[in-house]
Amino acid sequence: QIEQCFIYQVFGGKLRSQIHCTACNYKSNKYDPILDLNLEIFRTRSLERALNMFTSKEVLDGSNKYNCPKCKNMVKAVKQMLLCEAPNILAIQLKRFAFGKYGMKIENMVTFPARLDMSKYICGGKKQGPIMYSLYGILVHSGHSIHSGHYYCFVKCPSGAWVCCDDGYVHQVSEKKVLEQKAYMLFYSKESSAGSGAARMEIQTLGSSLAVKEGKKSIHSSSNGGGRVASLRADDFSAGGHHRPGSSSSSSLSPPGSPRSPPGSPGSPRALART
Ligand SMILES: [Zn+2]
C-alpha cells in the first residue's frame, strides 16, 4: 500500500481527474496517487499561471466527445484535474526538458513565490480558505540539454536563512537571489493552522526516525569510517547573519595558515572545498 510508505507520507498527494457530462450531469472521478506535480512551462512566465493551465477545464467536444457511462451517449463534457489531497511537501517539477532528438531545454524564466496559496488548485479548497505553502528548497539545472549539465540547490535553514549548496561549495544567499533562479524543481512545505513549520517538524521527526534506522544499517555495512566527509549543520547559518564556522579552529573555513588537524582525525574539518 503506497500510502504507508515514508516517501508517500512526505511527498504524497492525490490527483483527481474529473469528467463532467454536460447532458446528464454525471461526474466521473479518477484518483491517482502522486509524488510531485509536473507542470508545462512552454508558454508560461509564472508558477501560478502554470498551475492555472494544469488545472484548467478542458472541453471534450466535436471529434473528442465523451462516451458517458450514465446516459450512454457521446456527449460534450468538461475535464479537469485538481489536487485532492494536499501533500505535506509539495514537489513541483517545471518541465524544462523537451524530449526528442536533441533533448532541448526550455530556458524561460518562471517566477515563483516564497509563499504559495494552493486553495484554487485543491478540490473544495476555495471553501476552506487559503491553503498556504512556504518555499524551502529549489533545484537548479545549469547546462543546455537533458544530456549534460550540473545540478545545484538552494535550501532554507530552520533559522530562515537561505544557503546555496553546489557540490561541496556551500554559502549563504538572499531570498531575492533564490527567487531569481531558473528553477527546475520547487519544494514547498505546507503551513499548518497550528503555526507554520508544524508540518515540517512532523516530517523532520519522520526523517530522523528513518535516519536512525539507516544509521544502524550503516554501522554494520561500513568498515572504512573516519573519511573526510563534507558536512555542514543547518544551524551553522543564521538568518541575515554570516556563516559561523563553529568554535573549532580546525574549520576548513579558517584563514590560510591557521592551525588545523589532519583530515580524518577526530573532529576533523568540515570540508567545504569545491569538488
Ligand atoms: Zn451523461
d(CA 68, ligand 1 centre) in Å: 5
Domain membership of residue 271 (yes or no) is no
- Give the span between the Cα atoms of 27 and 82, in whole angstroms: 14
At 108, the pLDDT band (50, 70, 90 cuts) reads confident
Backbone angles phi, psi at 117, to 5 degrees: -95, 115
Is residue 165 over pLDDT 90? yes
pLDDT digits (tens, 9 = 90+) for 10-23: 999 999 999 999 99
- Give the span between the Cα atoms of 157 and 197, in whole angstroms: 12
Q: What is the pLDDT of residue 254?
A: 34
d(CA 45, ligand 1 centre) in Å: 37
User: Residue 6, CB half-sphere, CA atoms under 13 Å: how many?
Assistant: 11
At 241, the pLDDT band (50, 70, 90 cuts) reads very low
Higher pLDDT, 228 or 212: 212
pLDDT digits (tens, 9 = 90+) for 38-71: 998 888 899 999 999 999 999 999 999 999 999 9
Q: How many domains is the chain built from?
A: 1
Helix, coil or strand: residue 243: coil
Q: What is the pLDDT of residue 52?
A: 95
- Give the span between the Cα atoms of 149 and 139, in whole angstroms: 13
d(CA 69, ligand 1 centre) in Å: 7
Domain membership of residue 182 (yes or no) is yes
At 143, the pLDDT band (50, 70, 90 cuts) reads confident
- Give the span between the Cα atoms of 51 and 54, in whole angstroms: 5
CATH number where 167 lies: 3.90.70.10
Domain membership of residue 19 (yes or no) is yes
Q: What is the pLDDT of residue 226?
A: 37
The average pLDDT across 66-91 equals: 94
Say whether the ipTM exceeds 0.90: yes
User: How many Å from the N-terminal Cα to the C-terminal Cα in the chain?
Assistant: 40
Grid coordinates representing 122 are 485543491
d(CA 56, ligand 1 centre) in Å: 21
Domain membership of residue 125 (yes or no) is yes
Domain membership of residue 244 (yes or no) is no
The average pLDDT across 224-231 equals: 37
Domain membership of residue 249 (yes or no) is no
d(CA 26, ligand 1 centre) in Å: 5
Domain that holds residue 86: 2-208+229-236
d(CA 78, ligand 1 centre) in Å: 11
Within the chain, where are the H helices?
Answer: 6-11, 47-54, 125-128, 175-179, 198-221
d(CA 65, ligand 1 centre) in Å: 11
Q: Is there a contact between 149 and 143 (Cβ–Cβ < 8 Å)?
A: yes
Cα–Cα distances in angstroms (integers) from residue 233 to residues 164, 166, 271, in the given order = 13, 15, 12
d(CA 108, ligand 1 centre) in Å: 41
Domain membership of residue 213 (yes or no) is no
d(CA 128, ligand 1 centre) in Å: 29
Domain membership of residue 264 (yes or no) is no
d(CA 22, ligand 1 centre) in Å: 7
d(CA 82, ligand 1 centre) in Å: 21
Q: For residue 270, count CB atoms less than 10 angstroms from its CB and return exposed for 0-12, middle for 13-18, buried for 19 or more.
A: buried
At 204, the pLDDT band (50, 70, 90 cuts) reads low
